[in-house]
Amino acid sequence: MAAFSPVPSSEPGRRVSVSTATTAPAGVALGLEGATPDGPDALRDAAATHARSCADQQHVAVLVPGGIAPAEAAAAIVEGVLLARYRYDVLRSRPTATPLAELTIVTSPDAEAAVSAGAARGQALAAATSLARDLANTPHSHLTATRLGEIATQLGPAAGLGVEITDKAGLIAERIGGLLAINQGSAEPPVMIKLTYRPDGSDAGTGHLALVGKGIMYDSGGIALKPGDAVHARMKNDMSGAAAILAAMLQLRALGCTTAVTGWLMCTDSMPSSTALAMGDVIVHRDGTTVEIANTDAEGRIVMADGLVLAREAAPDAILDIATLTGAMMRALGSDVAGVIGNHDGFVEAVRAAGAATAEPAWPMPLWRGYAGQLDSTVADMKNLGWGDGGAITAALFLEHFVGDVPWAHLDIAGTAWSDTDRGTLTAGCTGFGARLLVQLALDFSPPNVDTAA
């Protein structure tokens, strides 16, 4: 069995150079010949198209166009090229494409410093997305919850992260009932990974942001077994939320983030067996909430509930959870746009703005409390699934119960976490959606005004 390497398969940190030469020092170069792309998003896509069109070349160059701030342009170019040339080849005996050895950004001498800074930012953002893709693309036979904890422990300290791994015994002691319940049918133990980033020189910085990620390493549906179709086969990506948090937080120190960020990754697989959680069972979460299991395939909200309680107890300025949570959101918004729902309009808007800035769009959806009655249970405090339409909303209402009055938003990436084809910066397979958005959110974060809650 091949071993999984925690180093991103596309190695986005390999050589990116800035040149002020009058001609591009590479065999294949993109020049826009006076046509200025309409903003960094268009430039990112143009660079991606260029990178894909010369996929057999190891050395690629792009000339920085006018009309866009040099740093912004350089970041967009680097992201476009590196992400378009991403390939997940870790488990192949031979690579499927020519690896990119060097990307050269060609600019004028007076813009060299700005372009260099922008290129470094682009590398960091591309590295976050590439690692998130690598983790989500890896089959659960190679990437268990335990293994993800090992990768976090290996990569975190060098990036300035504190890493704390809680094993099954620790989860029992901490009353993490949801993660333990979903893990009941699995031969693999559950793991909770806590990541801590504190900015240099201050524990306060620009506030404290808490992140909670769904880390279902493989989702069979449990006793509510999923159909044996193509969607089931891609359920290795049901830990995309946890992957995005780890990948994003690894870049915060390099980008000079002044926000304190704490992440909780709730990791297990969900399997059917004689010991698996059953429909009708009642579980108890860390805060004492009892939940009747209406469907074992609504497992993501169950594992994240205790993470939200822990986040709330840490008294952050805001909490964001990220998860491949509902098919309902995917049916509503498709595969290009994530849904964001929350209890604070200002924080929801901050998430949306971070997505707009990184070409990872998130569309606000209503937290319609008129549907809350769907979660009523006759035997417990609540059920884990509603009985009517609006499943993305009832899932958010379930999660809201555990955050108390802390400003909170829920990012449902069920549709955006997978691409069937190569297009723009995306390559077929797991997209790593959310990693760049989370970085941007942390960089721009300021504590939400509690008087403007939804």
Active site residue 301: yes
115 alpha carbon, distance to own chain's centre: 27
Does one domain contain both 124 and 167? no
Does one domain contain both 380 and 267? yes
Q: Higher confidence at residue 23 or residue 162? A: 162
38: confidence class by pLDDT, cuts 50, 70, 90: confident
75 lies in which domain range? 16-129
Instruction: Say if 7 falls within a structural domain.
Output: no
The pLDDT value recorded for residue 401 is 98
230: confidence class by pLDDT, cuts 50, 70, 90: confident
Rounded distance between C-alpha atoms, residue 214 and residue 299, angstroms: 9
Whether residue 250 has pLDDT greater than 90: yes
Distances (CA, A) of 413 to 32, 216, 231, 434: 34, 14, 15, 8
Last residue of a domain, one of 96, 129, 162: 129
Mark 104-114 as b/e (b = at least 16 C-beta within 10 Å). bbbbeeebbeb
Instruction: Say if 233 falls within a structural domain.
Output: yes
Does one domain contain both 153 and 73? no
The 10 Å Cβ neighbour count of residue 115 is 24
Instruction: Say if 198 falls within a structural domain.
Output: yes
Distances (CA, A) of 235 to 77, 91, 286, 307, 324: 32, 18, 27, 21, 10
Does one domain contain both 310 and 392? yes
The average pLDDT across 14-30 equals: 60
Does one domain contain both 412 and 298? yes
Whether residue 22 has pLDDT greater than 70: no
Instruction: Say if 10 falls within a structural domain.
Output: no
CATH number at residue 76: 3.40.220.10
Query: Which range is least confidently modeled, 95-104, 172-181, 307-316, 382-391?
Result: 95-104
Looking at this protein, which amino acid is placed at residue 109? Answer: P
The pLDDT value recorded for residue 37 is 66
Q: What is the DSSP string of 355-419?
A: HHHTT--EEE----GGGGGGG--SSSSEESS-SSS-HHHHHHHHHHTTTTTS-EEEEE-TTTTEE
Does one domain contain both 94 and 149? no
Annotated active-site residue in 52, 236, 301, 312: 301
Looking at the structure of the chain, the number of domains it has is 2
204: confidence class by pLDDT, cuts 50, 70, 90: low
Rounded distance between C-alpha atoms, residue 39 and residue 349, angstroms: 21
Under DSSP, the state recorded for 26 is S
Instruction: Say if 406 falls within a structural domain.
Output: yes
Does one domain contain both 145 and 115? no
Does one domain contain both 63 and 208? no
Does one domain contain both 112 and 175? no
The pLDDT value recorded for residue 36 is 58
The average pLDDT across 309-335 equals: 97
Active site residue 253: no
Q: Could you tell me how many residues make up the chain? A: 454
Query: Which range is least confidently modeled, 46-60, 337-351, 435-449?
Result: 46-60
Annotated active-site residue in 14, 168, 226, 253: 226
Last residue of a domain, one of 129, 147, 178: 129
Q: What is the dihedral of CA 382, 384, 388, 391, to 10 degrees?
A: 130
Cα angle 266, 270, 273 (rounded to 5 degrees) comes to 145
Whether residue 278 has pLDDT greater than 70: yes
Q: Is 187 exposed, middle or buried (0-12, 13-18, 19+ CB in 10 A)?
A: exposed
CATH number at residue 194: 3.40.630.10
Rounded distance between C-alpha atoms, residue 413 and residue 132, angstroms: 13
Question: Strands, DSSP E only, in 311-359?
Answer: 318-323, 338-342
Does one domain contain both 302 and 360? yes
